[in-house]
Structure 1
Amino acid sequence: MPSPAPLQPLLDTEILRSFVAIAETESFTQAASEVFRTPSALSMQIKRLEEQVGQRLFLREARRVSLTAEGEAMLGYARRLLKLNQEAISHFTAPELEGTVRLGTPDDIGTRILPQVLTQFSRSHPAVQVNVLVGRSADMLQQFDAGKLDLIMVTTGKQGRPARGEVVHNEPLVWAGAQGGIAVTQSPLPLALASQGCPWRKIALEALDHSQHRYRIAYISEHCAGQEAAMQADLAIGPFPLSLTQPPLQQLGDEYALPALGDYQIAMLYRGEEGSATQVLAGHVRAAFRARRR
């Protein structure tokens, strides 16, 4: 009878947590403050991990550290293992939640994080029903104030301006148009915008009004999907989040001398007692945006 294969050593989740922190901050010092350890303790942990897997995981440079190819592969495994570990603990320790959460979001926000948020939330709290309403930020605020929604995500104005709620995301707003398109060369500039009350629209029009560009509002849509369609068809250009400006759209560069738009923000507003389904769902939303910044 053949001898059983030797058991492989298990990866330590505490070391994996330190590894992920270093990979994301590109600094032992910054990572140490996040995991409440000293940089020397983290260095020892990484040395143990590298010895365990027999691979070098980091390149140490003068001002930063970066992942090797093996480190990139380890990062994917580490994130999945830590996520699975958290799901297992939550399954047995989290209080059983029930009821309904009424969630409101504009379509541009919902398409980015809702699939991830709803999947993870339903796994840990299957007894909670989430009702989703998609609409304009202004409408979400009205319904929230009227007590018809429990948690909303809304688009707000430029960075530095006071916003209601908790800012969970900050991102550059850029001019976007069709790849190789000619709409950007026309005068007056044809614009594809959302309807009145949209912060993107307000930011873009204020920037153009302070510049020398002549423009006309060519297309208006209640949802960013309609705005995006007009830009893809090369019928207009418009303000769009950098992360959503993907082919067949492109960011319009400095050669067109368009005014800078700066950043915009996404804020989250919610109500509910500590530990309620609404507050737990808010935590999932917060984590989803944090993960997108990595």
Structure 2
Amino acid sequence: MNNYDISSSQQLDSDLLRSFLAVAQAGSVSGGAIHLLRTQSAVSVQLQKLEEIVGQRLFDRHGRGVSLTTHGEHLLPVARRVVNMLDQAVAGMRGSEVRGEIRLGIPEEYSETLLPEILAGFAQERPGARILLRCGSSVEFPAALARGDLDLALHTPETITKNDVVIRRETAVWAGSIFHDAESRRPLPVALFDRACWWRERCLDLLQKSGTDYEIVCTSESVAGIRAAIAAGLAIGVLPQSTLTEQIRRLSEPTLPHLGETPLVMSRSLGAQSRLADSLTAIVTKVVRSLGPLD
């Protein structure tokens, strides 16, 4: 049996072991990176460092991902025991860690489709913890994370930073009522957010560049207001494909400008409690992935 000497000059860092466990469980570096809310390159560097410390190759790389080598299989139970003991020690010294609270920001448009399952999963996994929700606009979340007002945010940023982890690319679509054909009217009636944001500006820019004769007939500060205007046949609007309801359909009008895909990312503040943040990140990732492939 192999012995791993952690008393050497290069000691095993717990972060290295956590990365090892995440990748082993996910079966891929990319999957482990999503669970840890880190970039794939950062996790790869940690795995390489761990292999240098133990002096053995721990993973076999192949087209489908990675699998544990014999040495990796030997290290796996050791790593689990070490990480569990560290977590228990921290929980014992800081009881509020496990029973604490986590603040999550989530776009309002996902509050009906994703949020119930996320909350159910969190309640089951962390029954002693509290979750504080902010359902709002993705535009608000980067600043809230930077200020420390949020611990985690699921959002669609204008630009992706090195600390953001893309967990899905969502299809943005023009949406209309299943009972009306507002898309056939000219000027084209459009419903948009009433506040300045990159998504509003993008829609207006695409409409103008396409030469579409349009008119903004409804504005709202909330997705619920936009959705109501669309369902009533007052206007068309833009929504994520996965959030369409029974009253709203995806428009295939060829004259409408193509919207493309929007990255849905998880972001984390520097001060987030690690254990709760890790748990909630894994739950959110699982629920988002359950949406299935893009249409």
Which TM-score tier does this pair reach, normalised by the shorter chain? 0.5 to 0.7
Judged with a 3 Å threshold, the aligned counterparts in structure 2 of structure 1 residues 181 and 102 are, in CA distance, closer, same or farther, namely same
Alpha-carbon distance between aligned partners in 1 of 2:108 and 2:272, rounded to the nearest angstrom = 27
Partner of 2:110: 109
Partner of 1:133: 134
Partner of 1:266: 264
Deviation at 1:192, TM superposition (A): 0.8
* Residues 140, 154 of structure 1: 8 Å contact kept: yes
CA deviation map 1:52-101 (0-9, x unaligned)? xxxxxxxxxxxxxxxxxxxxxxxxxxxxxxxxxxxxxxxxxx85622111
Partner of 2:170: 171
* Residues 110, 243 of structure 2: 8 Å contact kept: no
Alpha-carbon distance between aligned partners in 1 of 2:110 and 2:220, rounded to the nearest angstrom = 16
Alpha-carbon distance between aligned partners in 1 of 2:179 and 2:128, rounded to the nearest angstrom = 50
Deviation at 1:197, TM superposition (A): 4.1
Partner of 1:189: 188
CA deviation map 1:250-275 (0-9, x unaligned)? 11114x51111111122221135784
Alpha-carbon distance between aligned partners in 2 of 1:167 and 1:289, rounded to the nearest angstrom = 11
Partner of 1:156: 157
3-state SS in 1 of match to 2:263: strand
CA deviation map 1:241-292 (0-9, x unaligned)? 11222332111114x5111111112222113578421222112111211222
Alpha-carbon distance between aligned partners in 2 of 1:209 and 1:273, rounded to the nearest angstrom = 42
3-state SS in 2 of match to 1:111: coil
Alpha-carbon distance between aligned partners in 1 of 2:139 and 2:196, rounded to the nearest angstrom = 7
CA deviation map 1:22-61 (0-9, x unaligned)? xxxxxxxxx9835849xxxxxxxxxxxxxxxxxxxxxxxx
Partner of 1:66: none
* Residues 137, 198 of structure 1: 8 Å contact kept: no
* Aligned length, in residue pairs: 211
Unaligned runs of 5+ in 2: 1-25, 28-61, 69-86, 92-97
Deviation at 1:213, TM superposition (A): 0.5
Identity %: 30
Partner of 2:148: 147
Alpha-carbon distance between aligned partners in 2 of 1:111 and 1:34, rounded to the nearest angstrom = 34
Deviation at 1:144, TM superposition (A): 1.8
Judged with a 3 Å threshold, the aligned counterparts in structure 2 of structure 1 residues 211 and 273 are, in CA distance, closer, same or farther, namely closer
3-state SS in 1 of match to 2:156: strand
Alpha-carbon distance between aligned partners in 2 of 1:223 and 1:273, rounded to the nearest angstrom = 28
Partner of 1:217: 216
Alpha-carbon distance between aligned partners in 2 of 1:162 and 1:149, rounded to the nearest angstrom = 18
TM-score for both structures, normalised by structure 1: 0.63
Letter in 1 for 2:267: L
Output aligned runs, 1:1-294, within 5 Å: 33=64, 36=67, 97-157=98-158, 162-163=160-161, 165-254=164-253, 256-271=254-269, 272=271, 275-293=274-292
Judged with a 3 Å threshold, the aligned counterparts in structure 2 of structure 1 residues 231 and 274 are, in CA distance, closer, same or farther, namely closer
Alpha-carbon distance between aligned partners in 2 of 1:270 and 1:195, rounded to the nearest angstrom = 28
Alpha-carbon distance between aligned partners in 1 of 2:111 and 2:266, rounded to the nearest angstrom = 12
* Residues 141, 153 of structure 2: 8 Å contact kept: yes
TM-score for both structures, normalised by structure 2: 0.63
Letter in 2 for 1:202: E
Unaligned runs of 5+ in 1: 1-16, 19-30, 38-93
Letter in 2 for 1:210: K
